[in-house]
Amino acid sequence: MSHGEPNNDQGAPDGTNATLSSPISPDGTPILDRTYEVPAREALAFRLTAGQTIRIVNTFGSQVADFWAFSEEDPREYLSMEHLRPSLKRMAPKAGDKLVTNRRRPILTLTTDTSPGVHDTLIASCDIHRYHQLGVDGYHDNCTDNLRMALLAIGRRAREIPCPLNLWMNTPPQPDGSIAWLEPVSKPGDSVDMRAEMNCIAVISSCPMDILPINGVDATPRALHVMVHA
């Protein structure tokens, strides 16, 4: 891992881990029905063709997945939480919901969710600045850099850092306006299936947070598993 300071290049990570050198294939095209591991603290990018379904498995039950999707045709169009919430008229998606872009077009449909359905659409991905605020001295793996590296690993470059769909992240708003930072309520083996409604690139980060309990009461990041079906 390299230890860096924040830089001014939106597409370049502030530090690196194995994400940068471990794509599933040179251009992110998956082998259908193969299971891929997203190691703890790292990320993978998957090129999806319209009609294909991506399944993300919370293997250990306690791991948050930061999830993004970008249009293959124009990466300036992407899955957008601020557009998703008014589209759904609720805070988080459930099975059957279409997930929309910043141009208000469906990019994915959440077809199946075997978990209790507790997901977050409010919290930005962790980054070097967040860990500095939490008292980390130096570099810490983070989901923002994981997104950047996962795209660079398949020859792409992040033009935007959208707010992710934080699968299984349990950070509910409270009546007094505060936000609770709680462990996931998902169980080992819970999964979500999302069908691509357009050709797109999906990125999944196994969130590296090990300070707050969002990855379980022991605050220990763990691997996720992903597969793509026709």
pTM assigned to the model:
0.95
pLDDT higher than threshold 70 for residue 96:
yes
pLDDT higher than threshold 90 for residue 214:
yes
Q: Mention every residue, 6+ apart, whose C-beta is less than 8 A from residue 139.
A: 1, 2, 3, 4, 14, 15, 128
Cβ pair 167, 192 in contact under 8 A: yes
Q: Give residue 3's pLDDT band: very low, low, confident or very high (50, 70, 90).
A: low
The distance from CA 155 to its chain's CA centroid, rounded to whole angstroms, is 19
pLDDT higher than threshold 90 for residue 8:
no
Alpha-helix residue ranges (DSSP H) falling in 4-126: 81-88
Percent of the chain residues past pLDDT 90, beyond the cut: 94
Q: Which DSSP state fits 124?
A: P
Cβ pair 189, 63 in contact under 8 A: no
pLDDT digits (tens, 9 = 90+) for 72-90: 999 999 999 999 999 999 9
pLDDT at 10: 83
**CA-to-CA dists, residue 11 to 147, 150, 159, 170, angstroms:** 9, 11, 6, 28
Picking from 29, 43, 84, 57, the residue whose alpha carbon sits closest to that of residue 225 is 57
pLDDT higher than threshold 80 for residue 1:
no
pLDDT at 221: 97
Average pLDDT, the chain: 95
